[in-house]
Amino acid sequence: MEKVEKDHAALAEEFIKDEERVDWHDGALWWIRQKRDMAAKNIPEWEALREAASQIKNNVLSNLHDYLLEFEANVTKNGIKVHWAADAEEHNAIVYSILKEKGIEQMVKSKSMLTEECHLNEYLIERGIDVINSDLGEYIQQLDNEPPSHIVLPCIHKRKEEIGEIFHEHLGTEKGVSDPTTLTRFARRHLRNVFVTRRAALTGVNFAVAETGEYVVCTNEGNADMGAHLSEVQIASMGIEKIIPQKKHLGIFLRLLARSATGQPITIYSSHFKKPRKGQEMHLILVDMGRSRQLGRPDFRDSLKCIRCGSCMNTCPVYRKSGGLSYHNTVAGPIGAILAPNLDMRKHADLPFASTLCGSCSNVCPVKINIHEQLYKWRQVIVQEGYAANTKVLGIKAMAWTLSSPTSYSTIGKAGRWVLNNIPFAVNNKFNPWYRQRDMPDSPKESFGEWYAKHGKDEVK
Amino acid sequence: MSTRERILADVLKNQPSASPLPDMSAFKGGNQDVVATYCEVFTGIGGKAFRVKSFAEIKHRIAEQFDTAQRIITSLPELSDSFERLSIDIDPHTFDDVDVAVIEAELAVAENGAVWLPEQRMGQRIVPYICQHLAVVIPAERIVPTLHEAYAKIGAGDYGFAAFIGGPSKTADIEQALVLGAHGPISMSVFVLGQGTTPNSVASY
């Protein structure tokens, strides 16, 4: 595991240095949240759809073993080769062996958070295989050597002038060109050439239907299809939790997904892959990567219901103001913060604390995951297991003692008021991070308890 | 123990007790005018919808909208006197220079503007993605209110590949500015063919 040098708070501090950027980022994501609301309000049965989606996913988790067997049997019958991978290393080795057997040295890849989690690109590049991400946002992030900052909008943290500069440096566009249409057209021409020359294409999977052995890939750009239908070898990578029982359930999920993600009624392309085309070879890799372990944690297994719409990120006040890269995890935001500790609790111990617990994420989640409650529960697990930062542990212990008896509560309260009123510099200084971005209100002279002792008996009857 | 066996054993050990599937019978569309709704929604997502009476009118509209000197292909026998009939046997890469592709959809969904295209109706899988402009013919009586009715009609489906396509390819990855024509078609037109003019045979592949 790579070492994380900075935690969420430290990385967020870098992001918020550019106030104009933060305001733009905050506003852009909030606008997407508003578009989601408008789309949801157009569907009178929206809440019933969310409930049905949640129940279908509960059923999937409760019967995943049998659904995986059913799916595997049907996929195989359809002429697609099924592989199983326990972890990133095994997944990447399978992809590499498929390409190597065909003597393929170049691959085009559409959006797949799973392969980001597995660091597939780095693995293949080290072995002499060239990989190009074809989703425009992911392509920009790849050129800039950065991971995506949002699962649906990979470069939402970048301004168009920066993207223009990246295109100028890597693709030779004219310096200073930053018009989104001009840059998109340029990328279109450039990547068209990639699509027609690649013999192998890899896609992610949004939904995998146990009943029919087909899988559905949703995009707006058409990049997954451009790669897949021109390739001689097509590979799909999916987490084992992406299964849904029956085809008719797609009606529920496809009605929810794009409306929750961007406010669109459906993604432009919802591609149903079932069999290879003539002369083509298809592979499907079922990946565990900690999912079976998360399934065994009753408090956290609901996180596996996620359909990766990103609505919890768009609505989260902490995500909007700290940027996705500050989460130092492939999936950022509230959902990332409840998925990541399962993979590596020490490395991601800070993430469940990067939240106000306001609950907005749970309110917009199309499959009704209790995200904010899980954030709260992860905090408890992380402190109990000894992974919380020392300052946090000390603070929590001090608070626990303070609240443990009326005497200690009133003593600490009195002391606190005295300090704030008489020697505020003792706490309001550069060594106390709490004060860095905050102004505190004036402290009252007495507590409510003291006031009540003086006035209560006479004035309150 | 193989990886497969180990994953399946872990899943079986860790999965919670049985939870039932929900009743979906209440999910269906209302009694709205599906053709009008379809056209409105499809226009709203950046497509162009035309209500037409005949294939002659479709030919006329295509000639009006596009440069007929460019390569225009179709899988529809009704249009093959005017445009190149696409071959299902050639290398898909050879469609790279197609300007317009005209194909027929099996279904269209009023509430989201998408058309359902099994690969038999595409001719080849790459066709609706690689063309610069996509034109789709949908007989009016095949428009359904929601995805629930669509999947009920589709059933298991006899296809190796199929897709819902709802509008021109788009991206907003650069500063959330909407750009039509990311990697797929720059424009999508749908011709809603009025009743009584349904083709008796579509592509006979």
Task: Give residues with Cβ within 8 angstroms of A235, minimum separation 6.
Answer: A95, A98, A200, A201, A202, A203, A282, A283, A284, A285
Q: What is the mean pLDDT of chain A?
A: 94
Question: Nearest-CA distance from A114 to chain B in Å?
Answer: 17
**Cβ atoms of A336 and A148 closer than 8 Å:** no
- Give the domain-ending residue among A292, A321, A351: A292
By Cβ distance, the residue of B12, B16, B181 closest to A61 is B16
Whether A208 shows a pLDDT value over 90: the answer reads: yes
What is the band of B198 on the pLDDT scale with cuts at 50, 70, 90?
very low
Q: What is the model's pLDDT at position A416? A: 84
Q: Average pLDDT in the B172-197 region?
A: 91
Q: What is the model's pLDDT at position A198? A: 96
Give, for A202, the enclosing helix (H) or strand (E).
strand A200-203
**Structural domain contains residue A449:** yes
**Cβ atoms of B161 and A274 closer than 8 Å:** yes
Q: Find tokens 């529960």 and name the residue.
A: A377
**Structural domain contains residue B165:** yes
Could you tell me the CATH number of the domain that includes residue B106? 3.40.50.10420
Whether A81 shows a pLDDT value over 90: the answer reads: yes
Q: What is the model's pLDDT at position B33? A: 93
What is the band of A459 on the pLDDT scale with cuts at 50, 70, 90?
low
**Structural domain contains residue B50:** yes
Q: What is the model's pLDDT at position A453? A: 86
Whether B204 shows a pLDDT value over 50: the answer reads: no
Could you report the predicted ipTM of this complex, rounded to two decimals?
0.95
Give the least confident one: A367-371, B30-34, B79-83: B30-34
Q: What is the model's pLDDT at position A460? A: 60
Whether A387 shows a pLDDT value over 80: the answer reads: yes
Whether A338 shows a pLDDT value over 80: the answer reads: yes
What is the DSSP annotation of A283-311?
Answer: EEEEE-TTHHHHHT-TTTGGGGG-----H
- Give the domain-ending residue among A245, A270, A292: A292
Quote the CA–CA distance of A41 and A54 in Å, as a whole number: 19
By Cβ distance, the residue of B114, B119, B162 closest to A266 is B114
Q: Pick B70 or B203 by higher pLDDT.
A: B70
Q: What is the model's pLDDT at position B201? A: 38
Q: What is the model's pLDDT at position A402? A: 87
Total domains, chain B: 1
Tokens for A129?
């295989």
Q: What is the model's pLDDT at position A2? A: 47
**Structural domain contains residue A390:** no
**Cβ atoms of A152 and A309 closer than 8 Å:** yes
Express each pLDDT in A400-434 by its tens digit: 888 888 888 888 888 888 888 888 888 877 777 77
**Structural domain contains residue A14:** no
Total domains, chain A: 2
**Structural domain contains residue B57:** yes
**Structural domain contains residue A128:** yes
Residue span of the structural domain in which B136 resides: 33-193
**Structural domain contains residue B8:** no
**Structural domain contains residue B141:** yes
SS3 content of chain B, % helix, strand, coil (to 5): 30, 25, 50
Any B CB within 8 A of A134 CB: yes
Q: What part of A 139-198 touches B (C-beta under 8 Å)?
A: 140, 153-156, 159-160, 163, 180-181, 183-185, 188, 191-192, 195-196
Eight-state DSSP code of residue B94: G
Express each pLDDT in A49-73 by its tens digit: 999 999 999 999 999 999 999 999 9
Mutate to test the interface with B, among A266, A275, A287, A299 (most CBs of B within 10 A): A266
Mutate to test the interface with A, among B175, B187, B188 (most CBs of A within 10 A): B175
Q: Pick A277 or B205 by higher pLDDT.
A: A277
Quote the CA–CA distance of A438 and A274 in Å, as a whole number: 56
By Cβ distance, the residue of B4, B165, B169 closest to A84 is B4
Express each pLDDT in B113-160 by its tens digit: 999 999 999 999 999 999 999 999 999 999 999 999 999 999 999 999
By Cβ distance, the residue of A62, A273, A277 closest to B16 is A62
**Structural domain contains residue B147:** yes
**Structural domain contains residue B128:** yes
Eight-state DSSP code of residue B59: H
Quote the CA–CA distance of A353 and A340 in Å, as a whole number: 12
Kindly provide the b/e burial profile for residues A128-158, where b requires at least 16 CB atoms within 10 angstroms of the residue's own CB. Answer: ebebbbbbbbbbbbbbeeebbbbbbbbbbbb
Q: Say whether B130 and A226 touch across the interface (CB within 8 A).
A: yes
Q: What is the model's pLDDT at position A438? A: 75
Q: Say whether B165 and A269 touch across the interface (CB within 8 A).
A: yes
Which residues of chain A neighbour B11 with C-beta distances below 8 Å?
A: 64-65, 68, 240, 292, 295
| Residue B148 three-state SS | helix
Whether A435 shows a pLDDT value over 80: the answer reads: no
Q: Find tokens 């020359």 and name the residue.
A: A197
Any B CB within 8 A of A223 CB: yes
Which residues of chain A neighbour B166 with C-beta distances below 8 Å?
A: 265-270
Could you tell me the CATH number of the domain that includes residue A229? 3.40.50.10420
Question: Nearest-CA distance from A113 to chain B in Å?
Answer: 16
Q: Average pLDDT in the A303-330 region?
A: 97
**Structural domain contains residue B11:** no
Q: Say whether A185 and B181 touch across the interface (CB within 8 A).
A: yes
| Residue A457 three-state SS | helix
Phi/psi at A114 (nearest 5 deg)?
Answer: -60, -45
**Cβ atoms of A51 and A252 closer than 8 Å:** no
Q: What is the model's pLDDT at position B203? A: 36
- Give the domain-ending residue among A292, A327, A361: A292
Eight-state DSSP code of residue B86: P
Phi/psi at A404 (nearest 5 deg)?
Answer: -75, -25
Q: Average pLDDT in the A431-447 region?
A: 77
Whether B97 shows a pLDDT value over 70: the answer reads: yes
- Rounded percentage of chain A residues whose pLDDT exceeds 90: 83
State which residue of chain B sits closest to A138, comparing Cα positions.
B173
Whether B202 shows a pLDDT value over 90: the answer reads: no
**Structural domain contains residue A430:** yes
Give the least confident one: A61-75, A182-196, B44-58, B191-205: B191-205
Q: What is the model's pLDDT at position A4? A: 54
**Structural domain contains residue A439:** yes
Q: What is the model's pLDDT at position A211? A: 98
Give the least confident one: A290-299, A339-348, A388-397, B19-28: A388-397
Residue span of the structural domain in which A411 resides: 405-459
Q: What is the model's pLDDT at position B6? A: 98
Quote the CA–CA distance of A398 and A95 in Å, as a whole number: 51
Mutate to test the interface with A, among B174, B186, B190 (most CBs of A within 10 A): B174
